[in-house]
Copies of this chain bind each other. A is one copy, B any other.
């Protein structure tokens, strides 16, 4: 109970935040020396450098069957040569099953204490995790720090808080006293929140902690043992998190296999073996739609997916076209369009966009976007850091071939030299013009920095297309610009029906790509971009079962 008492204030604040949905963060997002210590950044970088080229020996998992690792830095375009303890899928599942029974009997208070303590330990390694994230995903430094560190820890805390609350929602016991006229029937009843069992969390290559910790901590707080199967290209950031959690488990005399790292290699992936095994009852997945839909089709399991989508921006009328173009150029450049929330399809009426100074034509607005991309990319103090590097070679190839997609090239993708890493894999955004009739061009996700300016008849057609894309192909985010209240409500309603959150009229330092723990649901679960949401009650309550027993009160 010690760790529960230590952390119950933050737990209760987090539960309140979930329901207020106002701003809340337990982990400061700014990598400030004042917060994290004067030498925290240098220490983290140094620690990362000593990790490269070695066995990762921090995990408490015993008797590895082999040591493997194939991570490569998109900045260095060279392998990191870090290896991790590896196990067959059957070994991982057996260890998980044997860890299950101890973990499910730990009280939810104690579980919450242990899990929040692991986030406090993770906090001491945010900078190291940041460098690990940069050199596996290609994210810029600031994003790597924030997304993999404090934002991920907040999303994990959100899952813990939501799980803790959900498990307390019904009483543990009750006296059921039914009047029958001349006598009463009295039953003592009790309810148990029974965890589903072995849980597998499948990570992605671009956000190795942020997209992994919600499912991982949601399964753990509800009493399930977890096997984290990271993407073979992005292991180190989550390996550090799991190592810290395993230390806390061992300190509390618990089996470290309650949360295992289960790595594999590109040539011999174990994901399907894990997912299809009958003893695996819960699956979390972030990744491509084909694999996600296959997982959703596995029966008898609780499956949570974040897949891909086609994110839209609807441009109707604006107060300041320059501010809008600057905001959107940043949104589509950030981490080279490799965020699942990045915009891709920009719907612009053929008659242009209404502004206080008259109508801005399609071409004028297209030029503004292109100009803003260029000035961002060509600013040596901003471009390289905002774009970061491209995680996967295939993404670079797709961007380079953007002129073959079927649109008119407004701005071709370029490359440039990153001042810190001359070897970095870089691709600036490609901007294409496409007619609204060419659905085959814009009705799929073009992962990476590719933006399509789609010429529509009018805003009604823009809305209809954005809704159709979200309903048919999924969408995680939507941007909309309108100064007309009726148009605003139409967009809000039509996109809500497509289960897509809309960011209206964003300008300045807030972008449609961003979303905040405790306030913004990430993915709604209501369209083909995924069936799950960080963190709504469904994300929690499919991980356990309410079971009630009863017995007559003894006379």
Contact = CB atoms under 8 A, between A and B. Distances in A.
Contacts of A189: 21, 519-520
Given A194-B497, A550-B520, A22 B526 contact: no
Interface string A502-544: 1111111110000010011100111010000100111001100
What class of interface size applies to chain A in its complex with B? 35 or more
A137 B293 CA distance: 40
A297 B297 contact: yes
Interface in A180-239: 180-181, 185, 187, 189-192, 194, 196
A306 B14 CA distance: 36
Nearest to A547: B496
Given A169-B537, A194-B496, A501 B542 contact: no
B504 A551 contact: yes
Contacts of A293: 299
Interface stretch (A66-74, A146-154, A170-178, A376-384): A170-178
A241 interface: no
Contacts of A492: 190, 192, 549
A548 B23 contact: no
A456 interface: no
Given A21-B189, A297-B299, A509-B185, A546 B524 contact: yes
A19 B500 contact: no
A91 to B, nearest CB: 22
A445 interface: no
A296 interface: yes
A499 interface: yes
Nearest to A181: B30
Given A176-B519, A499-B194, A542-B538, A171 B20 contact: yes
A415 interface: no
Nearest to A539: B541
A141 to B, nearest CB: 18
A501 B526 CA distance: 32
B22 A174 contact: yes
Contact of A170 (B21, B194, B499, B548): B21
Contact of A545 (B187, B526, B545): B526
A358 to B, nearest CB: 22
A525 B547 CA distance: 9
A53 interface: no
A166 B541 CA distance: 13
A300 interface: yes
Contact of A503 (B166, B299, B551): B551
Contacts of A166: 537
A406 interface: no
A552 interface: yes
Contacts of A504: 549-551
Contacts of A194: 496-497, 499, 526
Contacts of A175: 22
A499 B547 contact: yes
Interface in A482-507: 492, 495-497, 499-507
A354 to B, nearest CB: 18
Nearest to A507: B552
A21 B174 contact: yes
29 contacts: A19-B169, A20-B174, A21-B171, A21-B176, A23-B176, A174-B519, A190-B492, A192-B492, A194-B496, A297-B299, A300-B528, A495-B549, A503-B550, A503-B551, A504-B550, A504-B551, A505-B551, A506-B552, A520-B550, A521-B547, A524-B546, A524-B547, A525-B545, A526-B545, A533-B546, A537-B537, A538-B538, A538-B541, A541-B541
Given A297-B297, A300-B528, A501-B550, 14 more contacts: A19-B170, A20-B171, A21-B170, A21-B189, A22-B176, A30-B181, A176-B519, A194-B496, A194-B499, A293-B299, A296-B299, A503-B549, A504-B549, A520-B550
Name the 5 nearest CB pairs between A and B, nearest first: A526-B545, A504-B551, A23-B178, A499-B545, A21-B174
